[in-house]
Amino acid sequence: MFTGIVEELGIIRKLHVSGHSGSIEIEAHKVLRNTNVGDSIAVNGICLTVTALGKDFFTADIMAETVRRSSLKNATSGDFVNLERAMAADGRFGGHIVSGHVDGTGTILSMKREENAVWVTISAAPSIMKFIVEKGSVCLDGISLTVAAVGESDFKVSVIPHTGEETTLLKKKSGNTINIENDIIGKYVDRLLNFKDSSPSEGGGITTVSYTHLTLPTNSLV
What is the per-residue pLDDT for 95?
78
Q: How far apart are CA 221 and CA 43, in angstroms?
A: 59
Phi/psi for 190 (5° steps) reads: -60, -40
Please give the distance of CA 120 from its chain centroid, rounded to a whole number.
Answer: 17
Please give the distance of CA 199 from its chain centroid, rounded to a whole number.
Answer: 32
The predicted-structure confidence for 73-100, as pLDDT tens digits, reads as follows 899 999 999 999 998 777 777 778 888 9
How is the chain split into domains, by residue range? Answer: 8-85, 104-193
For 189, residues 6+ apart whose C-beta sits below 8 A from its C-beta are none
- First and final CA of the chain: distance in angstroms? 44
Q: How far apart are CA 222 and CA 208, in angstroms?
A: 27
The residue that leads in pLDDT, 207 or 192, is: 192
**What is the DSSP code (8-state) at residue 203?**
T
Using the CB atoms, write b or e for 134-146: b if 16+ within 10 Å.
eebbbbbbbbbbe
**What is the DSSP code (8-state) at residue 116?**
T
Strands 177-181 and 137-140: antiparallel
Domain 8-85, second-level architecture: Beta Barrel (2.40)
Model confidence at 40: pLDDT above 70: yes
Contact (Cβ atoms closer than 8 angstroms) between residue 70 and residue 46: yes
What is the per-residue pLDDT for 196?
83
Q: How far apart are CA 48 and CA 24, in angstroms?
A: 10
Top-level class of domain 104-193: mainly beta
Candidate from 2-11, 163-172, 195-204 with smallest mean pLDDT: 195-204
Within 90-217, where are the H helices?
A: 126-129, 161-166, 184-194
The structure's pTM equals: 0.84
Q: How far apart are CA 59 and CA 45, in angstroms?
A: 16
